[in-house]
Amino acid sequence: MNWRRIFKGPIPAPLGLGLLGAAPILGIMLHYLFLTEKPANQMLSNIPEELIDKPRTLQPFNLLDGRGEPFDLTSLKGNWSYLILGFTHCPDVCPFVLGNLAVVYQKMAKELSRDRIPQVIFLSVDPGRDTPETLKNYVQHFNPAFKAATGNKRAIDKFVDQIGGYYKLGAKRGEGEYDVVHSAEIFVIDPSGRVFAKLNPPLEPALAKSAFLSLKAAYEPNSVSSVSDLDKRKFKGAS
């Protein structure tokens, strides 16, 4: 299953929200996909990654969080963040990536203190349908600790361009009906406010912690301008 690039889906109704009503089925599928025992070499192959050769330093931006309050650069600095793009009407990819991250987050929470776990942020690229309150309710179905962000189209465009992401709203087919195409990578933002790496979902929970700790070991705030000389094998799930 390769979700590395771009995904889209027809949106005749809020199917993404409807999937939340099928939580028991979703839970069984996530358990099968991510928690069943797999050979080590197979698990390693399921955590593709891309360390950014020159981490992208984010410039000031102005978005809104799930409470309608400012979400800006200070919301990222001082924390590790796993950020994904999406929209609540997404029928497939968004709920499955968030479900995968919920399993990963839960496993990390059992092994690491809460302040050492990356915050998970869902940025909606569909401000016409996704209000801050809608987003907050949506992400908290997956985990109460997950955060949401959105903004006006201009602010979203600026931020998505900064992180190296992509999205496009399709032509309207009716009232509130249109496609959305967006990047599916997990953008890893370091405590200095830089896009430090990209992860290709789904992540293997058994290896997610060691991969994250390897990222932290590679991180040197204010001194590393390039990570091209890092041993990427260490990041690839080594403990």
Q: Are 224 and 207 in contact (CB under 8 A)?
A: no
When pLDDT is averaged across residues 47-76 and rounded to a whole number, the result is 88
Strands 186-189 vs 70-72: parallel, antiparallel or unpaired: unpaired
When pLDDT is cut at 50, 70 and 90, the band that residue 121 belongs to is very high
Mean per-residue pLDDT, 216-239: 50
Output the pLDDT for position 66.
96
Question: CA 211 to CA 235: how far, in whole Å?
Answer: 5
Q: Structure tokens of 149? A: 């962000």
Does residue 25 or residue 75 have the better pLDDT? Answer: 75
Higher-confidence position of 39 and 144: 144
pLDDT value, residue 85: 98
The pTM (predicted TM-score) of the whole model is: 0.76
220: confidence class by pLDDT, cuts 50, 70, 90: low
Indicate the pLDDT class of residue 226, thresholds 50, 70 and 90.
Answer: very low
What is the pLDDT confidence band of residue 221, given thresholds at 50, 70 and 90? low
- For the chain, the average pLDDT equals 78
Whether 40 shows a pLDDT value over 60: the answer reads no
Strands 81-86 and 119-124: parallel
| Domains of the chain with CATH codes | 6-235 (3.40.30.10)
